[in-house]
Amino acid sequence: MPLPPEELVRPEILALEAYHVADSAGMVKLDAMENPYLLPEALRRGLAAALARVELNRYPDPGGAELRELLARKMQVPAGMELLLGNGSDDLIQVVTLTLARPGAVMMYPAPTFVMYGMNAILSGMRAVPVPTRADFSLDRDAFLAAMARDRPALVFIAYPNNPTGVLYGEDDVLAILRAAEGVVVLDEAYHVFARKSFMPRLAEFPNLVVLRTVSKLGLAGIRLGYLAAAPRWVEQFNKVRQAYNVNVLTQAAARFVLERLEVLEAQAARIREDRARLGAELAALPGVTVFPSEANFFMIRVADADRTYEALRRQGVLVRNLNGPALPGCLRVTVGTPEENRILLTALREAL
């Protein structure tokens, strides 16, 4: 008789819950930090024509050489560094983690942060060591350096700025970690276009630094493209773990077409930054709402009853992310939407409160 999953699946996998994505059909979708703006109509027509020319009967370029060259130029990757492409940055988080998951190896990160770091530690067999941030969610440099000296992590993840709190850790604090690290330090710069700060120009200064990015927050979440930049000796190792053909032909073609017109996405990001300032002030003016400063395209807020407020918003057709739990009691995360979406959010939130 076949054995049930409980007797075959690793216990640590049985204890996990799959990453949950809420049904957003018919909702004002402010839960996933997406760019709310479509590409301009003329650009969409050009993209459609470009995709129509793709040879779907052929495998993609496994390394995406043309796309890597374009990204290196557009994102100002320093000379001498190499790029690796992934099916979203989640793919590359897994690649890096698996590459460094020797028996007994430690992964370290400030907490709370992006859940996929810890999940990949579990999946790969690494020992996860989350280091709590301060009460205001800033990085506790002394505690982090002490933990590094004690546990000597093979891998450190730092989201810069952080998800879900929106905090951009101090540059001096990050530099202290880079200088103390024996292992690889991955700076996850998914929201770099909103923070407008990056360690990309300093890659050559730190041999074990990896800068990880995605085009999702720029406005291309649907094509699932991530990339990392690092010294060639590290990209050589990561590339051994990457699945062959992990970035499909449509993704490569779409990214090449749109990124050649990067100024369109950068203009949308600038608009989102302006709307972020207005939305943050309006959220802070609501009674009973605490707004945490953010350098990303979202805000984390604290309310008296997050579960009730989340459900009240959902009933009004507004979807946000419920973060309520021991690490983030009373907290919700709201994406900066279009001006109209932000207006709907504020109206619904007033009613929900």
The answer to whether residues 256 and 85 touch, using CB atoms and an 8 Å cutoff, is no
CATH of domain 55-261: 3.40.640.10
Region of 72 on the Ramachandran plot (φ > 0 left; ψ -120 to 50 alpha; else beta): alpha
DSSP-assigned beta bridge partners for residue 209: 185
Q: Which of 231, 190, 250 is nearest to 58 (CA)?
A: 250
Predicted local confidence at residue 135, as pLDDT: 94
What pLDDT is stored for residue 333 in this prediction? 98
Q: What is the pLDDT of residue 20?
A: 84
Whole-angstrom Cα distance, residue 306 to residue 332?
A: 7
CATH 3.90.1150.10-classified regions of the chain: 5-40+263-352
Q: Residue 29's CB: how many other CB atoms inside 10 A?
A: 18
- Which residues, at least 6 apart from 98, have a Cβ–Cβ distance to it below 8 Å? 124, 241
Ranges for all domains in the chain classified under CATH 3.40.640.10? 55-261
Q: Which amino acid is at 175?
A: L
Token pair, residue 88, equals 């979203």
Blockwise average pLDDT, block size 10, the chain, 353 residues = 92 88 91 97 98 98 97 98 98 98 97 97 97 97 98 98 98 98 98 97 97 97 98 98 97 98 97 98 97 98 97 97 96 98 97 91
Q: Which CATH superfamily is domain 5-40+263-352 in?
A: Aspartate Aminotransferase, domain 1 (3.90.1150.10)
